[in-house]
A = this chain, B = another copy of it.
């Protein structure tokens, strides 16, 4: 079970996927801080969430203040802004916090297309983030393959598995967040290095969305899990 007192900060919570998670976590009754480089954009996004989710416990802050306010800090910024964002918030991070990397190194970051990725020296975007955070902060990889459209469409189930990778205790805390969102199920993705595979899957899914004409975005499910293991 997820700790209901845990505050979730979502940096880049003004973007499609971050906003979708903010809506869903607020709907589950969790306290959410939306972070943005520009605090006024974060305030607007928080207002947007409040309009859609009655009684939402949500606030908008600059990225550094949002980081300081969260126990779990979800990085939902485009890959090209990921390293710079982590450097900006580094002084605000403290031991025991969890940073969740959901970015994918799509080749759009270097002016190429979204059906391909760029190679990351550390192995994955999540491991790049891990290399940048202070000691005592743990990085977990999750949520890359969850469609922003589905997250924002509050009436529907998201219908997607989330492969969560990272150090065991931190990974389990992030896995516990998944069932807060109807239709999200967490799978144990093992060590952070498996983010190498999970991140790439997003590029594959974007291509499948185009070839199979699914603008709202495909989800992914693993079949054959033991009965009752539903996140």
Contacts and interface: CB of A to CB of B under 8 A. Distances in A.
Interface of A: 115, 147, 150, 159-160, 163, 187-190, 194, 196-198, 200-201, 203-205, 207-208, 211-214, 216-226, 229
Nearest to A220: B222
A216 B214 CA distance: 31
Copies in the complex: 2
A187 B203 contact: no
Contacts of A221: 220-223
Given A187-B208, A189-B208, A204-B197, A224 B218 contact: yes
Contacts of A217: 224
Contacts of A198: 204
A150 B224 contact: yes
Nearest to A190: B207
Contacts of A197: 197, 200-201, 203-204
A5 to B, nearest CB: 28
Contacts of A203: 197
Given A218-B223, A220-B220, A225-B212, A204 B147 contact: no
B212 A226 contact: yes
A163, A196, A197, A216 — most chain B CB neighbours (10 Å) = A197
